[in-house]
Amino acid sequence: MPLRDHFRPPVSRQVSWEEIHGGWPMVIVQQLKKQLPPGFVSGLKVHSGSQIEIDIAAYERDDALRGFSDSGGGGVATASWTLAEPSVAVETEIADDDEYEVRIYDAERERTLVAVIELVSPANKDRPQKRNAFVGKCAALLRAGVAVSIVDVVTTRQFNLYTELMAFLGQADPTMGAEPPGIYAASCRWLLRGERATLQTWSHVLAVGQPLPTLPLWLTPVRVIPLDLEQSYEKACDDLSIR
């Protein structure tokens, strides 16, 4: 069955995109339970970040902090010191990013994280700082030896976080074209051979109305299993009565 557009009618009138983003990872976990070899386990992490945005900078002077001196406590009194105005005092948003992901662990190595499947949300593609946070997170995972799969079915924002990740790593994927598509799926890993490292990726352009691909899910440098996105996606849609 084909990929639907969960962000526009008619599907958006039936269910919200949050429902598929929340349900799909659990189906992937159930799918992996049948595929993972002994010693490997998977679990999900779903967290919808704050939707509150503060767009206007607000400054505050706190005169109570000025003219502070420490002369109490029975110690030797110090010279009076005047606290200068801060260089920046701006109300801002505390980082609280969306996370829709499946994590795979090697339980026999003290639950070492070996792979992560990231399901991109609209908020991940929203603003530069959100995109940078997502890309930085994926880059840090790869550098730690964790395989990363990115699945993006968000049709309402055209940023391609996979190509931004590749650019962050100083690379490019020619299969994405001059204008990278807004929806895609890719698996990435850094393969270490002695002192040399090879970045390997398997990428696919997605399209509404077309089946989803199967990605390689790397558990170790030599052990890989298929991540059948079509199968898990269809099960999630069926559970939500999406036709």
**Structure-block tokens of residue 33:** 């339970």
51 pLDDT more than 50: no
Percent of the chain residues past pLDDT 90, beyond the cut: 71
CA atoms within 13 A on the CB side of 144: 13
Choose between 187 and 243: higher pLDDT: 187
Cα torsion 155, 158, 159, 160: sign = positive
Q: Residue 55: pLDDT above 50?
A: no
Confidence of residue 74 (pLDDT cuts 50, 70, 90): low
With a CB cutoff of 8 Å and minimum separation 6, the contacts of 23 are: 236, 239, 240
Query: Residue 96 pLDDT > 70, yes or no?
Result: no
> From the CA atom positions of the chain, what is the Rg in Å?
23
Q: What is the structure's pLDDT at 75? A: 53
User: In the predicted model, what is the mean pLDDT of the chain?
Assistant: 87
- pLDDT bracket for residue 47 (50, 70, 90): confident
Instruction: Read off the pLDDT band of 124 (50, 70, 90).
Output: very high
CA distances from 131 to 76, 134, 137, 177 (A): 51, 5, 10, 20
What is the pTM assigned to this prediction?
A: 0.82
* Residues 90 and 58 sit within 8 Å (Cβ to Cβ): yes
What's CA 84's distance to the chain center, in Å?
A: 39
Q: Give the mean pLDDT of 159-176.
A: 96
